[in-house]
Amino acid sequence: MFEAKVTIQLKKGISDPEGVNTLKAIHLLGFPKVKNAKTIRTFDLTIDGTDKNQVKKDVEQICQRLLTNPVIHNYEITIKEK
């Protein structure tokens, strides 16, 4: 059994309206020293299997087919044995 963590963020140059709105709200709350806020999504997956390489390939396919848009997202996969 493996635990996979997938961290997804927007590529450089892609607008992040949620991050911009969060930064505005932070400033309205009285924290003007905060200079940037960006949105990052994380998925934690528990996967049954015995071969770490196969699990990583499966998670890669999940990312490419469902979790990300390769045009606008970068992602990182971390696999740990459970």
Whole-angstrom distance, CA of residue 81 vs CA of residue 1: 6
What is the band of 79 on the pLDDT scale with cuts at 50, 70, 90? very high
Greatest alpha-carbon pair distance for the chain in Å reads 50
pLDDT digits (tens, 9 = 90+) for 5-41: 999 999 999 999 999 999 999 999 999 999 999 999 9
Question: Is residue 35 a contact partner of residue 80, using CB atoms and an 8 Å limit?
Answer: no
Q: How many helices (H) and strands (E) does the chain have?
A: 2, 3
pLDDT value, residue 53: 96
Domains of the chain: 2-81 (3.30.1280.10)
Tens-digit pLDDT profile for residues 44-78: 999 999 999 999 999 999 999 999 999 999 999 99
pLDDT band per the 50, 70, 90 thresholds, residue 82: confident
DSSP 47-76: E--S-HHHHHHHHHHHIIIII--TTTEEEE
Report the distance separating Cα 38 and Cα 11, nearest Å.
Answer: 11
Predicted model pTM: 0.86
